[in-house]
Structure 1
Amino acid sequence: MSRSFVTATLTALTLAVAAAFPIAAAAAPTGPGAEREAERSLAAAERAFSGSVRRSRGATLALRDLALALPDLSGADRRQARALLSRPDEGNEPQFDPNDPNANGNWRADAETDSQCSLHFCAHWVTSDGAPPRKTDEIDLSDDNDNGTPDYIDAGLASAERSYQVQNVELGWPQPENDGTRGGTPQNDIYFSQLVFSENFGLFGYANTDRGDPCLDGQPYRCAGYLVLDNDYSEFGYEDPLLPLRVTMAHEYNHILQFAIDLGQDTWMFESTATWAEEKVYPKVDDYVFYLDFFADSPADPMTSAGGGQGLKIYASAIWNHWIDSRFGEDVVREAWTGSRKARPRSFAIEAYGRAIRQFGGSGFAREFARFAATTAEWRDATEFPDARSYPKQVDRAGRLNPGQSVSAKLDNTAFRLYDVPNPGGGTLRLEAEVQRDTRSAVALIGRRSGRQPLVRLDYLPNGRAGNVKLKRVGGYDRVTVALINADGRAKRRENARPFREKWNYVRNDRLFRATLR
């Protein structure tokens, strides 16, 4: 697979869950302002499915916003929104472009279809739809093993069952919610549709809930779901198109499991966990590595922000889950999810992770994030990260800092800055810092010797204020780095917040750090 192709196109290809949340009309904000917001949500969703992904926040967030806004839409807008939120086979597709009647992945009403089930999944696909070749939902019907099922469907069902085996059996995640007979059977439904139309735009796939499901009317938001995946993955530039099929299946199936636990959890936890799950199911594919440039380029963007790193840092933040997996065992990620509703505040990712980390013997989120952030300064040599030698050479440096120099910076939650020390000398370096009070934060000096575990000297500051850290015999290191870290993810819930991804007001943003190197 060409890394340059993937890096160039990731900003336009959204690997995503379209988690639809049609909230009861009585609970939704009303009035002209709400209606305008709903219309903007509809426009964003239309752009996401009509080739303008670069100008939208991606299909996942656009569809979720639209589902939340559905009660505030009426007439043609409401019908359009309902069509966007429908299963591919519901025959209710909107017409964004008369030359592209299939742009949202819904099948044509006159399409001929077929289905095949395995133990836990049922696949649904189009055998003939009469659409122009570029837009057709038809799959390759080749059946080399003569078992009566197209080879592509065999591969898809095999990947789904492997995802079930690893995630439910080996990792112990709770079973998905049953959708009854929606889709025709009680198994988990997978629809194969044309989701990619060129190398410039499209979707890897998504998971969705059903409109009108009672689980969507309020807490605890434990929902069933279904999957929609591309019908051939031929446009992504992979040498083997089954590779994106497999990792997308693992990713989106993890979303189905998340739906069954807490549909209201934070977006960044949804996506970072599902991307981590890809690696657990297919450890040799390493597809998550191609997102890491977006982490490396944006350490000052909050890890909690759905828009960080051009909207793709939330996928790259799979390395946070790999970090805690390495430190506390793989069960800690599952426990962060299963304890989501017990966290205070509930459905708050920072505290869900913190609670699980404490359960496994750690000190909570802030201390763990501080050490994680500092260690990314030399992540290619750190044993906590799998596939580390494939990572970008370094996380972005905000500048240089030599002995006798000072620096100041303002940092938002779960954000950090790194500074190279090009002339550290040969003795002891001392970093003196002052952090805005009442900020869970850290300052660190990191020493690198090529091929060896980096040495991290870190001063965790539970209340901000003065920090001091030393690194001895610095002449023996190939590189020395300063880290300033805002590890404070405390937040308050916004009243009438909608969509879910905007429900928190992080109250320790824009915190001032001052540091001097001596």
Structure 2
Amino acid sequence: MRYLARPVGVAAVAVMLGATLLPGGAARAEVPSSAAVVALDEPTDPPAPLALPADPDDITTAQAEQALERAEILIAGEAPATTTEGTAESPTLALRDLMIAKPKLRGADREAADRLLARPTDGANDPGEDGYPAGSTVKSGCTGGICVHYVDKAQNERIGATAEWASQTAQVAKNAYDYLVNSRGYRAAPSDGTRGGNAKLDIYLTDLGSQKVFGYCAPEQFVPGSNYRATSYCVLDNDYAEFKPTAPLNYLRVTAIHEIFHAIQFGYDVFEDSWLYEATATWMEEVWASDVNDNRRYLSDGQLGRPLVALDEFEDDTANSYGNWIFFEYLEERFGANIARSVWERASATSSPGQHSLYALRTVLNGLRDASGARTEFGRELAGFAAANQLPAAFYDEGSAYTAAPVNAGYAVSKSTTPVSRRFSVPQQTTYTVRFQPSFSAPSQRYRLRLRFSTPAAATNPGAFVVVQYTNGTVKRGAISLKSGTTTQYLAFQPGQVRNVYVSFANASSRLDCNLDTARACGGEPLDDDVRYTLDAVAQRY
């Protein structure tokens, strides 16, 4: 979930923890260790995130070396923090990139990659000091679809866990896994064979909290017969005692659902776009443990706080993809459908070969109907999301706790017959909101706001949405029907009755020139990044 230190480890002796006793384990082969990772004294910017080709044969040696360097920095916990609480970018997707690129590494680089991807019970040494030291007795137990492994705290005070905490972790993880698979209908995480003792999803407990690390999930290898689905294991903190102000159990709950969902995502498409991984995993915290609210820390980095940062952008110096969980919350509350799962099913190479995250999202949204029965589309819903974010208390169950999105432009409109004019461009996968306020009084006259604006080409999947806020607290919203060329819309604008009119525009184009190693969907460059609008607004008496 956040950055964490390097896993290492030893052989395990299985001990009863929960409902099932794991088979005793012989020592695993030790991983060569000639390439040590040097700890850094000062925060170091890691290389940019990769967008590795879907065909591993197309990965270059330079890309593989970049993936290794990035994973080393993130796992060592030496990257700059991306939130005010001091947490940094998750290493999960860096480990994903490293697993995919590892076949192109040789010699010491290959050995370093093996250690980074090793389980806490694997390997000959402990360069990150977070694995299980040689000679440790590892206790293991299974319940439901998961197994939890740990070293008893009496044996190792630093990395160990109590039997009570391990049992609590097992129950929380089981409940999270059951919710994802049985209640939400996601595919079970791919079987890892007998790794960890059996085919269940393995979770290891160790000390991550001393580095402000909550947990992570690492893919290991492609599922036999597949070149896009991967098995994985997860690591969680051994007590969450270092984290404040939330209770340790609540940190465990949100971390477990987030990381276990990553393990399930790896079973859909390990190559899928990074923003979709993190936005949907962070949103799952909201739906499964909505009372914890840890994910609110990211909202200012996502489109609620920065609407002109693209939805599909994966920034490694902010938590923007984490913050965009609220887009899926908006869709869930609006449609009551399991949209995130539908997107993952569309994006999976099994059902939609070659369909990247934005195409999958567009396909799902274009097939929905709203409460009125009207067919919706991606551009309309992205604009509606931006409009709702102006008054979150009116549109989200917990919206009164959210800070409203900033407007891009605001105007006080007088009785003048000269229209207020605005010319602006909307980058691909972003939104732009203009606020209008009546600045005159008309106690015995009726007024409306006339909007007239250019409509971009249909290829850009444009959308427009309006929210009218009345002085009595009422809020009304609606989509603007776009017409070819110029669109005209009339809105309520009676002084003394209307406080604000918000008009949001979206550029939801999913057209990209892919495989250019960018941090956007499909690693591509947007093809419709400069959609221009001309907007005129005037108060009219009628």
Same topology, TM > 0.5 = yes
Please tell me whether the aligned partners of residues 52 and 523 of structure 2 are also in contact (alpha carbons under 8 angstroms). Answer: no
Please tell me whether the aligned partners of residues 112 and 129 of structure 1 are also in contact (alpha carbons under 8 angstroms). Answer: no
Equivalence for 1:421: 436
Give me the whole-angstrom Cα distance separating, in 2, the residues matched to 1:22 and 1:492: 13
Shift of 1:112: 3.5
Give me the whole-angstrom Cα distance separating, in 1, the residues matched to 2:461 and 2:96: 32
Q: CA deviation digits over 1:73-128, x for unaligned, max 9?
A: 32222211221122221125563xxxxx42xx433344432212113211011236
Q: Taking structure 1 as reference, are residues 176 and 500 closer, same or farther at Cα in structure 2, changes over 3 Å only?
A: farther
Equivalence for 1:29: 59
Please tell me whether the aligned partners of residues 431 and 445 of structure 1 are also in contact (alpha carbons under 8 angstroms). Answer: no
SS of structure 1 residue aligned to 2:361: helix
Q: Does 1:83 align with 2:115?
A: yes
Which of these residues, 484, 491, 495, is aligned with residue 512 of structure 2?
491
Please tell me whether the aligned partners of residues 448 and 478 of structure 1 are also in contact (alpha carbons under 8 angstroms). Answer: yes
Please tell me whether the aligned partners of residues 435 and 511 of structure 1 are also in contact (alpha carbons under 8 angstroms). Answer: no
Shift of 1:453: 5.9
Give me the whole-angstrom Cα distance separating, in 1, the residues matched to 2:285 and 2:368: 23
Which of these residues, 109, 116, 122, is aligned with residue 147 of structure 2?
122
Cα-Cα RMSD = 3.2
1:194-343 mapped onto 2 (5 Å cutoff): 194-198=207-211, 202-211=212-221, 214=224, 218=227, 221-295=228-302, 296-307=304-315, 310-341=317-348
Give me the whole-angstrom Cα distance separating, in 2, the residues matched to 1:230 and 1:379: 34
Equivalence for 1:478: 499
Equivalence for 2:6: none
1:341-380 mapped onto 2 (5 Å cutoff): 341=348, 346-361=354-369, 362-380=375-393
AA paired with 1:301? V
231-240 vs 446-455, greater mean Cα deviation: 446-455
Equivalence for 2:401: 390
Q: Does 1:49 align with 2:75?
A: yes
Q: CA deviation digits over 1:330-364, x for unaligned, max 9?
A: 33332222232477663422222233334443433
Give me the whole-angstrom Cα distance separating, in 2, the residues matched to 1:158 and 1:348: 35
Q: Taking structure 1 as reference, are residues 69 and 408 closer, same or farther at Cα in structure 2, changes over 3 Å only?
A: farther
AA paired with 2:407? R
Q: Taking structure 1 as reference, are residues 65 and 175 closer, same or farther at Cα in structure 2, changes over 3 Å only?
A: closer
Q: Relative to total residues, which structure has the larger helix share, 1 or 2?
A: 1
SS of structure 1 residue aligned to 2:267: helix
Shift of 1:462: 7.7
Please tell me whether the aligned partners of residues 433 and 513 of structure 1 are also in contact (alpha carbons under 8 angstroms). Answer: yes
Q: Which runs of 5+ in 1 are unaligned?
A: 1-11, 13-17, 96-100, 142-149
Give me the whole-angstrom Cα distance separating, in 2, the residues matched to 1:20 and 1:484: 29
SS of structure 1 residue aligned to 2:390: helix
SS of structure 1 residue aligned to 2:501: strand
Which of these residues, 191, 209, 214, is aligned with residue 178 of structure 1?
191
Q: Which has the larger radius of gyration?
A: 2
Please tell me whether the aligned partners of residues 401 and 517 of structure 1 are also in contact (alpha carbons under 8 angstroms). Answer: no
Equivalence for 2:416: none
Equivalence for 2:480: 459
Equivalence for 2:160: 138
Please tell me whether the aligned partners of residues 262 and 340 of structure 1 are also in contact (alpha carbons under 8 angstroms). Answer: yes
State the percentage of identical aligned residues: 26
SS of structure 2 residue aligned to 1:455: strand
Shift of 1:245: 0.5
Please report the TM-score for the alignment, with normalisation by the length of structure 1.
0.80
Please tell me whether the aligned partners of residues 382 and 431 of structure 2 are also in contact (alpha carbons under 8 angstroms). Answer: no
Q: Which runs of 5+ in 2 are unaligned?
A: 1-42, 44-48, 82-87, 370-374, 414-418, 442-446
Q: Taking structure 1 as reference, are residues 327 and 208 closer, same or farther at Cα in structure 2, changes over 3 Å only?
A: same
SS of structure 2 residue aligned to 1:255: helix
Give me the whole-angstrom Cα distance separating, in 1, the residues matched to 2:136 and 2:160: 9
Please tell me whether the aligned partners of residues 96 and 219 of structure 2 are also in contact (alpha carbons under 8 angstroms). Answer: no
Q: Taking structure 1 as reference, are residues 514 and 86 closer, same or farther at Cα in structure 2, changes over 3 Å only?
A: farther
Which of these residues, 45, 61, 66, is aligned with residue 40 of structure 1?
66
Shift of 1:265: 2.3
Aligned residues: 466
Please report the TM-score for the alignment, with normalisation by the length of structure 2.
0.77
Please tell me whether the aligned partners of residues 412 and 508 of structure 1 are also in contact (alpha carbons under 8 angstroms). Answer: yes
Please tell me whether the aligned partners of residues 208 and 225 of structure 1 are also in contact (alpha carbons under 8 angstroms). Answer: yes
Which of these residues, 419, 439, 443, is aligned with residue 460 of structure 2?
439
Please tell me whether the aligned partners of residues 450 and 478 of structure 1 are also in contact (alpha carbons under 8 angstroms). Answer: yes
Q: Taking structure 1 as reference, are residues 210 and 276 closer, same or farther at Cα in structure 2, changes over 3 Å only?
A: same
SS of structure 2 residue aligned to 1:203: coil
Please tell me whether the aligned partners of residues 268 and 304 of structure 1 are also in contact (alpha carbons under 8 angstroms). Answer: yes
Q: Higher relative contact order by CA 8 Å / sep ≥ 6: 1 or 2?
A: 2
Q: CA deviation digits over 1:401-456, x for unaligned, max 9?
A: 34343233332222112233344546212222225434322344422237856323
Please tell me whether the aligned partners of residues 93 and 107 of structure 1 are also in contact (alpha carbons under 8 angstroms). Answer: no
SS of structure 2 residue aligned to 1:429: strand
